[in-house]
């Protein structure tokens, strides 16, 4: 285990199970869809989850990416997410599946929903690997959240602290001393 990680929240095996369940939920929802849904990865945090999720689905989807940044090197969201890289595809008339790593304050999700619905998407479905309901600042939620956690800062499987730890294959709680000494 990485020396900065206090304990493991999801092992690789548990992640695989969560991914399978989320993919099955999406398949059930979109199996009879009249068009190919557009799955969007909110980068960078959701990238690992996204790649595993779309490959676990039976339903064919198109994929696109958007980079949204809400933190500097902190563990608290700045409140105003910034679009660093926009989508390549048009979402007008599309069934959009937004894939998130965590819904925390909810600010990112609200920003994404307003943007994507504002561009004329036909539907908007959110799948998130984690949900931190205790930290919500705006009343939104994912349509499907794989795992609920308390007010802990977690890293790995795409999730970072100051751009580090994203490549860990599991998800763990970051030791407080790592971010509190700064
Ligand atoms: P929100 O806009 O506050 O909901 O924040 C969403 C984003 O903050 C997520 O997509 C993550 O990138 C990041 N985030 C929130 N909590 C954590 C965490 O515990 N570890 C790593 N990133 C987090
Ligand atoms: Mg992030």
* pLDDT tens for each residue of 1-40: 899 999 999 999 999 999 999 999 999 999 989 999 999 9
Contact between 142 and 103 under an 8 Å Cβ cutoff? The reply is yes
**What does the pLDDT read at residue 51?**
98
Residues 6+ apart with CB under 8 A from 82: 68, 69, 70
Residue 131 beta carbon below 6 angstroms from any ligand 1 atom = no
Assign 80 a pLDDT band (cuts: 50, 70, 90): confident
Strand partners, 97: 39, 125
The Å distance, Cα 67 to ligand 1 centre, comes to 13
**C-alpha of residue 59 to centroid of ligand 1, in Å:** 28
Angle between helices 12-30 and 47-56 (to 10 degrees): 60
100 CB less than 6 Å from ligand 1? Answer: yes
| Nearest atom, ligand 1, residue 105 CA | 3
**Please, which residues have CB within 8 angstroms of residue 69's CB and are 6 or more apart in sequence?**
81, 82, 84
In percent, how much of the chain has pLDDT > 70?
95
Q: Model confidence at 81, in pLDDT bands (50, 70, 90)?
A: confident
């Amino acid at each position: 285990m990485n020396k900065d990680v206090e304990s493991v929240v999801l092992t690789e095996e548990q992640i695989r199970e969560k991914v399978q369940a989320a993919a099955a939920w999406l398949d059930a929802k979109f199996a009879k869809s009249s068009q190919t849904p557009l799955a969007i990865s909110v980068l960078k945090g959701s990238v690992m989850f996204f790649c595993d999720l779309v490959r676990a689905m039976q339903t064919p989807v198109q994929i696109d990416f958007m980079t949204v940044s809400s933190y500097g090197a902190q563990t608290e969201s700045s409140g105003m997410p910034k679009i660093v890289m926009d989508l390549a595809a048009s979402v007008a008339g599309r069934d959009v599946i937004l894939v998130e790593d965590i819904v925390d304050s909810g600010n990112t999700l609200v920003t994404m929903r307003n943007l994507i619905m504002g561009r004329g998407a036909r539907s908007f479905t959110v799948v998130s690997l984690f949900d931190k309901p205790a930290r919500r600042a705006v009343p939104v939620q994912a349509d499907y959240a794989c795992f609920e956690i308390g007010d802990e800062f977690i890293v790995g499987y795409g999730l970072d602290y100051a751009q580090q730890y994203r490549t860990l294959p599991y998800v763990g709680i970051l030791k407080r001393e790592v971010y509190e000494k700064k």
